[in-house]
Structure 1
Amino acid sequence: MNTIQLKKGSERPFHQGRLDIGRDDLSDSVFLKDGEMVRLTDYLGRFIGYAMMSFEQKAYGWILSTDENIEIGEDFIRGQIVAAISERTPLYNQDDTNVFRLFNEIGDGIGGLSIDYFNGHLFITYYSAGIYKIRNLVVHVLIEELTPESITEQTRFSIDGRMQIQNNHVTGNKAETIQVQESGMRFNVNLNDGPMTGLFLDQRETRKSLLKNKHSHNETFLNLFAYSGSFSVAAALSGMSTTSVDLAGRTTELITENFNVNNLKTDNHTIHIMDTFDYLKFAERKNHQFDTILIDPPSFSRNKKKVFKVERDYPKLIKESLKILSPDGQLILSQNLETFSLNQFKKQIDQTLESMGIAYTLKDVKGLPKDFKTVKGYKAGKYLKVVTIQLGND
């Protein structure tokens, strides 16, 4: 095993428990290979930890263990996966939910690897070519421990300098559509069709909150960046009439299917395939008004000549949405940029509303559900921030 050193001045965060390694943290990274196991020291040669190099967007490598006496090999990898499965034992016995995160990257001890459980089917995501080198071991352990109905893998890393996302069926019955249950709601997912499965598992608590708060059919819900409409399903089941907006052409099909599997009639529920900002202008012209607006944009998107960056453009989304929000309405604001902290997001929201002279009450703050395990050594792992505010003062 090769030994690599941190640059002088980079060691303090690592001595304090940091787990993600950046290229600029290392004194020399020229000869390192993606997926290589290394012994990491500070510039004085003091042991920091054993690490796996993982050339991905999130990090250049991940510390796997700070125990110098432990052996890093197949038994270590196996142990991390088995431990994660064991920790989630209670999730297999839920009456109303059969979908969850089984292994969450560095939170469960191996950066660049995630595994999701979809009603007996497993979906593995590899975020670097290096971590993909242990795929055979990962698959073997999962079959041995869980006997899944199927396993699908997704690779999300650069090949020849270009980011490529590919889905591959690995083993078991290849189901085109899998129906899953979450908090009693039913959703269709597809593990073999493109970069997204149809359901973002990290938003479980947001959907549950919408579902639990019962409303009358006179109350209206606007779901911006709706994708497959899971928030709209939760809002509809709680009693609200819904409007879903997304630019993707498949949105109508996905939302309609999810409404159908929940035995929801589409009366009082509408779908608009259009740019979010265009819809907000349209709704203002038509004097539409909503009691609750949920905003859950991607961190980055490009539509023709328009570029959306969440850290820059979120205030504009809030301002435009406020024009069609009822006087005592509620905003559910979601943001998932790793480099943008919860405090930064709350400050951005506060400054935006203060600049407009609008009083509000902070009603709720949510983050990742417990199965999306995080660790102190990687603060950016707590990427999801969902802040609910209500106009006016209590």
Structure 2
Amino acid sequence: MKIKLKKQASKKMMAGYPLVIEGDLVKSQDQLKTKEWHEFVTDTGQFIGTGYIGKQNKGIGWMVAQEETKMDAEFFTRLFLKAGEKREGFEHNELTNAYRLFNGEGDGLGGMTVDRYGEYAVVSWYNETIYTFKPMLIESLMAAFPMIKGIYEKNRFEQVGLPETQHIAGLEAPEPLMVKENGVTYATYLNEGMMTGIFLDQKNVRRRLADGLASGLDILNTFSYTGAFSVAAAMGGAASTVSVDLAKRSLEKTKEMFEVNQLSLDNNRIVVMDIFDYIRYANRKSLTYDMVILDPPGFARNKKRTFSVVKNYGELVAEVTPLIRPDGYLIASTNVANLPYDKFKEMVEEGIHSEGRRFKKVEEHRLPSDFVTASTFKEGNYLKVLIYQIF
């Protein structure tokens, strides 16, 4: 089926922009329900590219190829091989064996990602249409990466009866599966919900912590999940860490992360508490730290409060700033794609300034090199991490 695009959308797509939104199409609603490969054409019928319609949070479809080509196993094997070539540095890195192997539209196929955990892979599907191509895509993936012994999937779209995670090919991974990143060991679980125990997009920040940014410092890690930042900081010589997360599972998961790295819990506390309650507690007790790490979820709610990164990040920064000692550090992070970098920076700096503190930005980090992004799709570079020294 040929799908016509409006003039403005045609110009964008011809320039390499891969995402299709509903307002781009000259269409009937029935076209949104098709699960097959399509040709995108201008309103006059000129060929633009080949892709598919598949609704997800970003839009309603993706352009995959700008040339006329057959969307078969051979095409996708070549696409995966090309992605692998970009990551040869990771393939031969003895200190890191967990990284993104294929990053959706950044590597030429929006709607799916592939993460490598040692000899295993986790494929994430983001819309129902891409999932219907699964047999061919998994065949191509295994052909391109024979070193992968087993594959799991995460289904990040709603479909009745479809498990959110499952093993789909090859061998099953041990639980926990130990992986390495910059010489630090992390315990991961590939078939335990949507998350595996570590967010691979933060590898550069963890590397800085492990390389000595946190050396000799007392660290407060908020929204700590499994404590990966804390473990990296401890491996990098931190004097102490406090990991705070509301989820009860965080206690055992974080303990495990320290234990697999032979790190004592004597100077590494784990607190199961709502982070906003902990901030109030720390302020009452006049607790202070040399570094505070803020990496909250995009949205959170408890009985007393609703938090949104887009609306409330600056307020959160203002609340934690009194906990930071003079000359200490704030690591402010978010993965919310619809919050522009400049706006995020403004919110963070206003939050610090509101507490009467001076500051200097000392580092910033975006997505690491394995999270390949397309120059024509800047919103794909969603991660924003700012490191400030506060006086």
- The equivalent of 2:224 in structure 1 is 226
State yes or no: 1:247 paired with 2:246: yes
Structure 1 contact 142–148 (Cα < 8 Å) conserved: no
> Which residue is 1:172 aligned to?
170
Give the root-mean-square deviation of aligned CA atoms: 1.9
Report the Cα distance in structure 1 between the residues aligned to 2:316 and 2:214, rounded to whole angstroms. Answer: 25
Q: For each residue in 1:319-340, what CA deviation from the matched residue of structure 2 results, as whole angstroms up to 9, or x when unmatched? A: 0101111122110000111111
For structure 1, which segment, 104-113 or 49-58, has the greater mean C-alpha deviation from structure 2 after superposition? Answer: 49-58
- CA, structure 1 residues 70+388, in 2 after alignment: closer, same or farther (shift >3 Å)? same
1:353 to 1:245, Cα distance in 2 relative to 1, 3 A: same
Give the whole-Å Cα distance in 1 for the aligned partners of 2:169 and 2:336. 33
Q: Partners in 1 of 2:195 and 2:133 — Cα distance?
A: 23
Q: Quick check: 367-376 or 77-86, which moved more?
A: 77-86
Aligned equivalents of 2:230 and 2:205: distance in 1? 11
In the alignment, the residues of structure 2 paired with residue 173 and residue 220 of structure 1 have an alpha-carbon distance, to the nearest angstrom, of 42
What's 1:152 paired with? 152
Consecutive unaligned residues of structure 1, counting only runs of 5 or more, are none
CA distance in 1, matches of 2:51, 2:38: 5
Pick closer, same or farther for the CA change 1:216–1:210 going to 2, 3 Å. Answer: closer
Give the AA of the match of 2:154: Q
What secondary structure does 1:346 align onto? helix
CA offset digits 1:50-74 (Å, max 9, x no partner): 121121112211111112x333333
Q: Is 1:107 matched up with 2:109? A: no
Structure 2 counterpart SS, 1:338? coil
Map of 2:200 onto structure 1: 201
TM-score (norm 1): 0.93
Q: Which residue of 1 aligns with 2:281?
A: 282
Query: Please, which moves more after superposition, 100-109 or 70-79?
Result: 70-79
4+ residue runs over 6 A deviation? none
**Gap change, CA 1:29 and 1:357, over 3 Å in 2:** farther
Q: What is the deviation of 1:183? A: 0.6
Structure 2 partner of 1:25: 24
1:11 aligned partner, one-letter code: S
Partners of 1:325 and 1:170 in 2: how far apart? Answer: 46
Residue 49 (1) aligns with residue 61 (2): no
Q: TM-score, normalized by length of structure 2? A: 0.94
Work out the CA distance in 2 between the residues paired with 1:34 and 1:87: 33
Secondary structure, counterpart of 1:158 in structure 2:
coil
Aligned length: 387
SS at match of 1:72: coil
**Distance verdict in 2 for CA 1:214–1:64, change over 3 Å:** closer
Q: Deviations over 1:116-153 (max 9, x none)?
A: 11010111111111111121122222333324221111
How far, CA to CA, are the matches of 1:261 and 1:374 in structure 2?
33
1:92 aligns with 91
1:72-83 equivalent positions in 2, closer than 5 A: 72-83=71-82
Match of 2:64 in 1: 64
Give the AA of the match of 1:231: F
The percentage of counterpart residues that share the same residue type is 34
Q: Determine the C-alpha separation between the residues in 2 that align with 1:115 and 1:376.
A: 20
Equivalence for 1:339: 338
Report the counterpart of residue 325 of structure 1 in structure 2.
Answer: 324
- Distance across 1 between alignment mates of 2:387 and 2:65: 38
The structural deviation recorded for 1:16 is 3.2
Aligned twin of 2:234: 236
The letter of the residue matching 2:36 is E
Residues 71 and 139 of structure 1, relative CA distance in 2, 3 Å threshold:
closer
Give, as a single letter, the amino acid of the residue that structure 2 aligns with 1:236: A
Distance 2:95 2:214 in 1: 22
Residue type at the aligned position of 2:114: I
Structure 2 spans left out of the alignment, 5+ residues:
none
Q: Secondary structure at the match of 2:89?
A: helix
Amino acid aligned to 1:322: T
